[in-house]
Structure 1
Amino acid sequence: MASWIQELQFPHLNIPVRHDRFHTVEPESPIPAAHGDCLYLSNLDDMIGARVFTPTLYFFEANNQSSNRKFEPKILHEALAKVLVPYYPFSGRLRETKNGKLEVFFGPKQGALFVEASSELEMSDLGNLTVPNPAWIPLIYRYPYEEAYKVIDMPLVIAQVTRFKCGGFSLGLRLCHCLCDGLGAMQFVSAWAGTARSGSLVTDPTPCWDREFFRPRDPPKVQFRHIEFTKIDDSSSLTTTLWQTKAIQKCYRISDEFQTLIKSLAQPNDGHGCTAFDAMAAHVWRSWVTALDVKPLDYELRLTFSVNARPKLINPSLKEGFYGNVVCLACSTATVSQVINGDLPETTQLVREARKGVTEEYLRSTIDYIEVDRPQRLEFAGKLMITQWTRFGMYESADFGWGLPVYAGPIDLTPTPQVCVFLPDRNESLGRSMVLCICLSESAASRFKEHLSEVLTLNL
């Protein structure tokens, strides 16, 4: 049982990287957009939380047993140019309209940014490649004076390929979240990878834009409170602890057996059951709040998480190949006292109800809410935001012809320390284990693992 929760260590490194070449990658052949054209973005694409570049990093070994193909950056460069034809919106830029809403527009000298880089290190010098490490930041390209949440007039695909002395390489990728959610991003990556493997364009499914599917109703019809967006007075110790004292990133491998145990212990008392995500989200929330010793006890906390709303859309359903944002924020609320003193089934029921509350009508209400009252800033007061990446197929989507990556995922959560990520575990011998990444204060780190593990002592 002791191995059911394993803290993963990562070294503090200095990774010297030299940027050797910069390329603007334009679509290889004509696209259905001329200079001056623009494309509509839905309010789901244009939520304030989507105005980011999602950084992901992929590591590929030099001597992958499944491939004897020599690595050449040119292969990725040329495949990207091919993929940008059916995925042509990624070759454009974002701009604001009069009411502050974003749209994609097309002009001269646009396209994706492709950076060739190199390092004198070997991949073995980087230590454990199964766990996100903030020291990997040099492997993802950022402009020298880039600002947080800046997406206007930026390339919408930013890729950095870094070659290591051993012959292995990394692909640091930043896709603008306004154009795709996690599933959409993996659809794009899968097409790019398939094209790189074959040398000719591969798109399965055929990409579909169709953002007008999510136009707001006329007049807008906001039917829910949407507490996920509501501004709340920040009178708790939570954000002070995480933002004013330097938060640290902690990662844990969570076994399938532990997840199964938590799910069995978390079953709500109403007899309607729960999912493994409901149970783990509730348990992580309770452990995090307790470890951080949040005060005051009557302060109302929020747990938010993204729900894939694709299955909710029935009449009509989304067209196959749609890669835009179809995620809706679910939100559970409870006071600090309720979270730390309530039992796990009660907290799990709150999570389940929030998840099940994301219906097609809730999604449409979200779209209309943003149309009426477009949030201009992210609200962090009292929040933990959990993102589940375990179902994206990140490894399977990223075989560019050099085998599956040894790591695929994020790097550094500390810039937004109220985010927690559930990641797939590449170690296939461990079954359906996952990697949990979360930010804590230095003093809370050991307490968090204790609270996370304490259910094991109850079941010896």
Structure 2
Amino acid sequence: MAPPWVEELHFHQLNIPVTIHQTVSVTPSRPIPVKHGDSLYLSNLDDMIGARVFTPTIYFYQSDNLKFCQKPVMETLRDALASVLVPYYPFSGRLRETKNGKLEVFFGPEQGALMVEAQSEMALAELGDLAAPNPAWTPLIFKFPNEEQYKVLDMPLLIAQVTHFRCGSFSLGLRLCHCICDGLGAMQFLGAWAATAKTGLMVITPEPCWDRELFRPCNPPMVKFPHTEFMRIEEGSNLTMTLWQAKPIQKCYRISREFQTWLKTLAQPYDNPACSTFDAMAAHIWRSWVKALDVRPSDYMLRLTFSVNARQKLNAPLKDGFYGNVVCVPCVTSTVSELVDGQLPETTRLVREARLSVSEKYLRSTVDYVEVERPRRLEFGGKLTITQWTRFSIYKSADFGWGTPLYAGPIDLTPTPQVCVLLPEGKADSSCSMIVCICLPESAAQKFKHNLFMMNSTDENENTSTKLS
């Protein structure tokens, strides 16, 4: 029997006991080009309200690959981190606000990255299938006692927890401050740290480049687009209340390349320009999610936002080693009724147009909008945000000498239940399937699955009903 085109992934309900043995501050192993009291400029792309977060990721490694290690895991990682913090010295600083509320990196005494060593009496096999992110893995990521959500000021900008399991395997739980790097920048840093750990020698390719001043605002600022993505919209629907009060659960689905290809054909807009796989998937997920949540009233205006890497949109190319934020967040709007009762190709067209609207002018306008408005809170009204990780080399970048991880990616989306993440399938998969990870109330989960699998489509039932599970 052929493998299913779309498959729900289930994860274990776990309680992972973790004992912390030590916390260590890691500082650059050699002098860096700043002194105590110095500061570094952050662009408004680094300082968007959505970037004022830590991005948690986890990596699992098998004990079989540790047989020939010369040094303990913690020591290997710590020594390599101290080395790469020389060229990546901003990670050893802290964030502070200036008078107008803008962030900057500053350098003072007793700073540095933070490494934590922990032990669990569980074996890695007891965690179950590592194909999909599991909120139960949260103890494998270090948080300070009583740490406030979204706290980034005066925090280590890199926090790493090494957790040893009973079987000899281990996990590396990372928290990187999004203000310092976007997804591609994080992969660049992670790759340098991993290659340095693997070889025992400093491996920095490409040479990291700060250059955040390239994105200074105009004087005076010139906002040329409405930037609906940032606007405060009063929640006039049942969407946000349904999600946040119902304690949503995390759901994950494996989407095969065959389904993606088929969906792309089905979702192709009626005009000529072709849509991308992302356009089709984003439109389909958005419609499926809103239908499942039974959003009311029907004339309420919804928003779909997603991240677009704007590097290729710039007239003057950035240096290869630039690792700051070069991300725009275009926004698609639609009423509930237009989205639910309309045709998938029309929704796909809206997503495609928003994606293609990102230009250098749009990016510069974003910079100036943040300069003028300086949004201070995340806005959730009527919004779903889709983040695409499928193009990140997260598995390849995380080979520290113990092979590629069994799983690499996020853990828990439930603290931000209006975010959906598209993840690459694990290292063993070469079929270009993806994992869709999204949050839903229990009452809406079955309906979302029904919509996502397209069980309501007559053509779908005739052609693919045996390929859904």
CA-to-partner distance for each residue in 1:128-183, whole Å, 9 max, x for gaps? 11110000000000000110111000000000000111111100000000000000
Number of the residue aligned with 1:351: 351
What is aligned with 1:28?
A: 29
Residue of structure 2 in register with 1:122 after alignment: 123
Shift of 1:334: 0.3
Is 1:60 the counterpart of 2:61 in the alignment? yes
Task: Report the equivalent of 2:170.
Answer: 169
Find the aligned partners of 2:430 and 2:85 in 1 and give their Cα distance.
Answer: 37
Is 2:86 aligned against 1:85?
yes
Distance 1:299 1:200 in 2: 57
Alignment of 1:245-394 (within 5 A): 245-314=246-315, 316-394=316-394
The residue type equivalent to 1:202 in the other structure is V
* SS of aligned partner of 2:408: strand
**Are residue 213 (structure 1) and residue 221 (structure 2) matched?**
no
Q: Tell me the matched-pair count.
A: 458
Residue 39 of structure 1 contacts residue 103 of structure 1 at CA under 8 Å; is this kept in 2? Answer: yes
| Distance verdict in 2 for CA 1:392–1:214, change over 3 Å | same
Do the aligned residues in 1 keep the contact of 2:404 with 2:427 (CA within 8 Å)? Answer: no
CA offset at residue 457 of structure 1? Answer: 1.7
Q: How do 1:440-451 and structure 2 match up within 5 A?
A: 440-451=440-451
Structure 1 runs, 4 residues or longer, greater than 6 Å off: none
The corresponding residue for 1:228 is 229
Q: Name the CA distance, whole Å, in 1 between partners of 2:5 and 2:11.
A: 19
Which SS does the other structure have where 2:59 is aligned?
Answer: strand
Paired with 1:200 and 1:341, the residues of 2 have a C-alpha distance of 59
Could you state the TM-score of these two structures normalised by the residue count of structure 1? 0.98
How far, CA to CA, are the matches of 1:427 and 1:403 in structure 2? 10
Shift of 1:323: 0.2
> Are the equivalent residues in 1 in contact too, given 2:7–2:255 (CA < 8 A)?
yes
The amino acid across from 2:231 in the alignment is T
Cα 1:458–1:370 change in 2 (3 A) is farther
CA displacement at 1:2 relative to structure 2: 7.1
SS of alignment partner, residue 39 of structure 1: strand
Secondary structure in structure 1 of the residue aligned to 2:63: coil
Unaligned runs of 5+ in 2: 465-469
Could you tell me which residue of structure 2 aligns to residue 405 of structure 1? 405
**2:287 corresponds to which letter in structure 1?**
R
Separation in 2, partners of 1:458, 1:379: 42
**Deviation string, structure 1 residues 374-425 (Cα, Å, up to 9, x no partner):** 1010000000000000111000000000000000000000000000000000
The AA in structure 2 aligned to 1:437 is C
Q: How far did 1:429 drift?
A: 4.1
> Match of 2:161, as an amino acid?
Q
Once the two structures are TM-superposed, the CA of residue 199 in structure 1 deviates from its matched residue by 0.7
Q: Deviations over 1:401-460 (max 9, x none)?
A: 000000000000000000000000015345000110000111110101111112432645
Quick check: 2:406–2:427 contact (8 Å CA) kept in 1?
no
3-state DSSP of counterpart to 1:384: strand
Which letter does structure 2 place at the counterpart of 1:80? L
Q: Name the SS for the 2:159 alignment partner.
A: strand
- Sort the Cα spacing of 1:458 and 1:303 in 2 relative to 1 into closer, same or farther, 3 A: farther
Deviations 1:84-141 (A, max 9, x none): 0000000000000000000000000000000011111100010111110000000000
Query: What letter is aligned with 2:334?
Result: A
1:69 to partner: Cα distance: 3.1
The aligned counterpart of 1:457 is 461
CA RMSD of the aligned region, Å? Answer: 1.2
Distance in 1, matches of 2:426 and 2:437, equals 15
5+ residue gaps, structure 1, are: none
| Cross-structure match for 1:17 | 18
Contact map agreement 2:28 2:86 (CA 8 A) in 1: yes
For normalisation by structure 2, the TM-score amounts to: 0.96
Q: Is the 8 A contact 2:209 2:319 kept in 1?
A: yes
Q: Taking structure 1 as reference, are residues 401 and 18 closer, same or farther at Cα in structure 2, changes over 3 Å only?
A: same
Paired position in structure 2 for 1:150: 151
User: % of aligned pairs identical?
Assistant: 66
The CA deviation string for residues 9-40 of structure 1, in whole angstroms up to 9 with x for no partner, is 00110100010011000000000000000000
* Alignment correspondent of 2:467: none
CA contact (8 A) 1:255 1:430 kept: no
Name the CA distance, whole Å, in 2 between partners of 1:167 and 1:27: 29
Q: How many angstroms does 1:319 deviate by?
A: 1.3
Question: 2: distance between equivalents of 1:439 and 1:72?
Answer: 34
